[in-house]
Chain A
Amino acid sequence: MGCKISAIEYCFPETKVTNQDLKKEFPDYDFLNFEKKVGIYARYIVKNNETGFNLARAASLKLFERGVDKNQIDYILYCTQSPEYLLPTTACILQDELGLRKGIGALDFNLGCSGYTYGLSMGKALIESKQAKNVLLVTTETYSKFIHPGDRTNRSIFGDAATATLIVESEEDNIGNFVFGTDGSGYDKLIVKNGASKHKYDKNCLVKEYGTDNKYTDNHLYMNGPEVFNFTSSVIPNFTKEILAKNFIDKESISQFIFHQANAFMLNFMRKRLKITEEKFYINLKDGGNTVSNTIPIALKQYSQNINKSEDIILVGFGVGLSWSGGLIKISNAL
């Protein structure tokens, strides 16, 4: 007895911000070059009164609309760094909001770009250890709420979104082996410093500059781009080889590599290092941008639309933490 991904749905907020929109605020910046290199044309952001929870709810409802029986769900794994409250657990609120049964497990886990692959491995573990049969894995993120209005780089890169994935017990063994990596020494390379236990939100926070004329305060998201790029380009190619080895499969047998859609330049850089052809390496973040833990399920759903026989797919997530994880899955139909 194994498990498989049976369905994925995703949703973006309504408000679309194109490169032309950003150009009005940052007229000196070459957004055409940005689009060419980073591969992003538009991102979606939540309104002030909207949260990641609203998006998560909408993505989950889409699953039910297409016939997933909500009474079958016996576990919620909720991945976010934008919870509704410091406490309680947002997954508990979602159980009630969606009208799921009370006799189920529900937990939040705080991971960013490595979150989806972690969620799949936990869902698999819950099912294979007979603790659950139908796991609802939700990812939702609203970094737009953390980004300083004057932080052009992060505003260009990140977008908000949510996804809902159903992982079910099955005759097939379609979720393979997963591998993990952690380096907490890089905790401050991508961080929102204030607002949790260690540093209170500070309304008089000093405005600082970084990179090329980007503004932020310690209340806001800060990303050290060069360090994140270095981490990714030095760790992830070998890590991908580790995933292949752990699954006793060679590169040539993989139909598609779906990495966290961080930025097209960085993805291509890793693709070349791994000597993978463009056809076998998914890059599509034009519409939506880097949506943190959502990029892999969104990409997987999009890619799966043309699948008509069983395909082996490698998924790799990496980022804030620093944290990375990845594994092999098999998909044989559109999700």
Chain B
Amino acid sequence: MTKEEFIAELAEEMEIETTVTAETNFQELDEWDSMGMMVLIGFVSEKFEVSLNAEDIAKLTTFESLIDKIGVDKFS
């Protein structure tokens, strides 16, 4: 999966209505609530077998920061 595909699929899972890029900050999104976080944790766990805890979630800024957390080497 490329970074772009990942961002697009995650945005769809989270049902984000605005256009998002690697630079989009989660805090700016209306969809970034406890449910959005749950969807994100589920998606990342399913695709990459990476478990994000509450602290990881609190530290997230942009989609790029999430990609860094998962590990850039996991993307093609």
**Cβ proximity bits A38-80 to B, threshold 8 Å, 1 near / 0 not:** 1000000000000000000000000000000000000000000
Whether A265 is near chain B, meaning CB under 8 Å from some CB there, is yes
Chain B: interface secondary structure?
A: helix
Contact of A229 among B15, B32, B42, B46 (CB under 8 A): B42
Contact between B54 and A227, CB atoms less than 8 A apart: yes
Contact of B38 among A214, A234, A265, A272 (CB under 8 A): A265
Contact between B42 and A211, CB atoms less than 8 A apart: no
Q: Which residues of A contact B34 (CB under 8 A)?
A: 153, 211-212, 214, 225
A59, B26: Cα distance in complex, Å: 46
Count residues of chain B with CB under 8 A from any CB of chain A. 17
Q: For residue B19, give the distance in angstroms from its CB to the closest CB of chain A.
A: 19
A225, B35: Cα distance in complex, Å: 9
Chain A: interface secondary structure?
A: helix
Q: Which of B23-42 contact A (CB under 8 A)?
A: 32-35, 37-39, 41-42
Q: Which residues of A contact B41 (CB under 8 A)?
A: 226, 229-230, 233
The number of chain A residues touching the other chain, given as a range, is 20 to 34
Q: Which residues of B contact A229 (CB under 8 A)?
A: 38, 41-42
Whether A34 is near chain B, meaning CB under 8 Å from some CB there, is yes
Whether A191 is near chain B, meaning CB under 8 Å from some CB there, is no
A266, B38: Cα distance in complex, Å: 8
Q: Which residues of B contact A233 (CB under 8 A)?
A: 41-42, 45
Task: Identify 12 residue pairs between A and B in the complex whose beta-carbon atoms are under 8 Å apart, listed by A's number.
Answer: A37-B38, A212-B32, A226-B37, A226-B38, A226-B41, A229-B38, A229-B42, A230-B41, A234-B51, A263-B38, A265-B42, A273-B46
Interface residues of A, Cβ cutoff 8 Å to B:
29, 33-34, 37-38, 153, 211-212, 214, 224-227, 229-230, 233-234, 263, 265-266, 269, 272-273
3 smallest A-B Cβ distances: which pairs? A212-B33, A226-B54, A211-B34
